[in-house]
Structure 1
Amino acid sequence: MKSVFTAFVYPLNKILIGVLLIACTALPALHAQEDKSTTDKLDYRGTPGVYGSISSVGSDSLANLMALWAQAFQRLYPHIKFQIQAAGSATASQALTQGTASIGPMSRALTSVEIERFISQHGYPPTALVVALDAINIYVEKNNPLERLTIAQLDAIFSITRFCGHSNTISKWTELGVTKFGGDRAIQVFGRNSASGTYDLFKKLALCDGDYAVTVNEMPSSSSIVQSVGASIGAIGYAALGHNSRDVKSISLSVDGEQYFAPSATNIASGKYPFTRNLYIVVNKAPNTPLPLLEKTFLTYVLSEAGQQVVSDSHYFPVTGRLLQRQLNLILDK
């Protein structure tokens, strides 16, 4: 299924939210106590000479965050324009390599192939900034009695290969001990399309690098998966945690079948929840060369206390402490 997307354009203090029609893997570092001294040294407010436009191409999982960051940044710099395309993480590295985007949001880490292509074009690697922490969540409809799954069971639902070790494919709810839907109710399965970083990360972590089953309904965005699961009896799907809704509930997961962890803030920050991930903005920054003032000022805002409050308000998790310090050092070329 091909991805078709509508660009989001943000002129003077106004957001035109388009509709995505068809639209990682390092774990986050443990947090130290937050150090705000670095953000005080680099002020994103009232910087002279900030003008122009930012073109963002990349992750659907970060589309909402990008829209909110852009809106807030335009309150400070009303003449700045944003063009945001959110068709999937795979499009970010392509656009940055080809020079058609100034920033590339990604819900996974760059692959070695993507880095090599960028180096081949520019002579140096891209710079990836961690801008938020997230998790891939497993959703079922809110009235489903299922509470938890092992990774092996999840693999048996979503894959054809079962590399995680389950003996049989799981295709009916009774095979998980759920009798509410009757003996013949098949599990309706929803997942992301192949352009998505969430698709790639789930394949690695949940399918043990196996292959998706043909029964998985590929969807253009995390929000469309959550909506589909919430509106379907006997459905299950995976999507970014920030897209939760009142019509679905989250499933706790276990690697060993003994300890189960819900996607809570504590479990995600500690890395106990198995599908924790970093969210990135990737930029083209030559060594020993500062970023253009516009991109530098915007990214400083993203990593500021105000920018990270947007992250928290959107049900993601902010970058803090030493991890935050390292990201700001990348912007400052330290």
Structure 2
Amino acid sequence: MLKLETFPIAFVLFLFVSFTLVSCGDKKEDSTTQKESVQTEQSAIESTQKTETADATAVKVDPNIPHYTKVAGISGNLSSIGSDTMNNLLTLWLEGFKKYYPNVNIQVEGKGSSTAPPALISGTAQLGPMSRDMKQEEIDAFEKKFGYKPTELRVSIDALAVYVNKDNPLKGLTLPQVDATFSKTRRGGYKTDIAKWGDLGLTGDWTNRGISLYGRNSASGTYGYFKEHALFKGDFKDQVKEQPGSASVVQGVTEDRYGIGYSGIGYRTSGVIALPLAKSENDEFHLPDYENCLNGKYPLSRFLNIYINKAPNKPLDPLLKEFLKFVLSYEGQEVVVKDGYLPLTYELVKKEIAKLE
């Protein structure tokens, strides 16, 4: 190690100035490189947007899916407790089902996916909608009481979208950028924290504006899915404004010009933009549309599930079975499209229907 006192003061000053200039040059080079990288990504996204469209109205239900047929002797009550994301979907399914069976009553409560397993275990609900898969500890708790596992039914496809305000010029994000925006752990590998819109390449009035973060609370399956797949199982920043429901996230971003949030594609409105996403810097950007969700190109696509308590080798309660058959029918999947989600294919429906027998 060099000792400063052995050198003339002028020489020391020369070294200091030289080192400072080199350091500043390095920082400028790093900043320029990062800016060029962001600009390259935005150009790639613009190319993607010219070839893809996220027009949900173009989605059609598979014509091979059987239509629902009314049966005799169906009556009674059911209870659904679970996902807030699926709350409106369950309500619309119920409305469609009651056209066949006006005297049937189904109570729907959506306070988060984590409320579904306890409700199924206690018997307070016969339907457990979840916007994520059941965790192993939830399955174990169910099996400990009943001696068998809960039955999972995939009932719809969802794209978990990253929304910005309609006035935001951002063209898209990579998952590492999403992680660096929402997470304090940055397990996705992005080099720096993203706190201002200028960090994502935006200029002008946007450059120094802080990013307002909107998300769900920890009881939500959407929260858990986003944490696992977009944050690489990392931790959310403390600044995230946790909302009680999916619609609240979209509303928050709609009212906040500098906001960004995550929510199901079924909650998209004209006040927000669902960004194209890429798995990494070297991958293509894809919109959250039907084709990209089916082929796995959109990185945050998922199934929406309903869990039920079906004892092996025992028939399901007729009301429960008929409701689920309606959900998996052509008419039930039309409801999925109406609510802004993505319908199952005929092949998927066949697999799920078989679980009811």
Distance 2:63 2:301 in 1: 20
Which among 75, 80, 86 is matched to residue 56 of structure 1? Answer: 80
Larger deviation, residues 255-264 vs 274-283? 255-264
Which among 176, 197, 200 is matched to residue 176 of structure 1? Answer: 200
Please list, as runs of the form range in 1=range in 2, the aligned pairs for 1:283-322 lying within 5 A after superposition.
Answer: 283-322=308-347
Give the 3-state SS of the residue equivalent to 2:253 in structure 1.
helix
Which among 270, 273, 279 is matched to residue 304 of structure 2? Answer: 279
Which residue identity does 1:225 align to in structure 2?
Answer: V
Q: TM-score, normalised by structure 2?
A: 0.81
> 1:184 offset after TM fit, Å?
2.7
RMSD: 1.2
Give the 3-state SS of the residue equivalent to 2:187 in structure 1.
coil
* 1:143 lines up with 2:167 in the alignment: yes
Distance 2:146 2:205 in 1: 56
Q: TM-score, normalised by structure 1?
A: 0.86
Which among 165, 190, 211 is matched to residue 189 of structure 2? Answer: 165
Once the two structures are superposed, what CA deviation does each residue of 1:130-151 show, in whole Å capped at 9, x if it has no partner?
0100010000000100011111
Distance 1:296 1:181 in 2: 56
> 1:182 offset after TM fit, Å?
4.2
> 1:183 offset after TM fit, Å?
3.7
* 1:233 lines up with 2:239 in the alignment: no
Which residue identity does 1:98 align to in structure 2?
Answer: S
User: Is the CA contact (8 Å cut-off) linking 1:159 and 1:212 kept in structure 2?
Assistant: yes
Matched-pair identity in %: 42
The residue number in structure 1 matching 2:20 is none
> 1:97 offset after TM fit, Å?
1.0
Give the 3-state SS of the residue equivalent to 1:76 in structure 2.
coil
Distance 1:250 1:230 in 2: 12
> 1:256 offset after TM fit, Å?
2.1
User: Is the CA contact (8 Å cut-off) linking 1:301 and 1:307 kept in structure 2?
Assistant: yes
The residue number in structure 1 matching 2:273 is 249
Counting matched residue pairs gives 295
Which among 106, 130, 136 is matched to residue 154 of structure 2? Answer: 130
Distance 1:110 1:305 in 2: 26
Which among 276, 279, 285 is matched to residue 260 of structure 1? Answer: 285
Distance 1:320 1:184 in 2: 46
Structure showing the higher helix proportion among its residues = 2
> 1:181 offset after TM fit, Å?
3.1
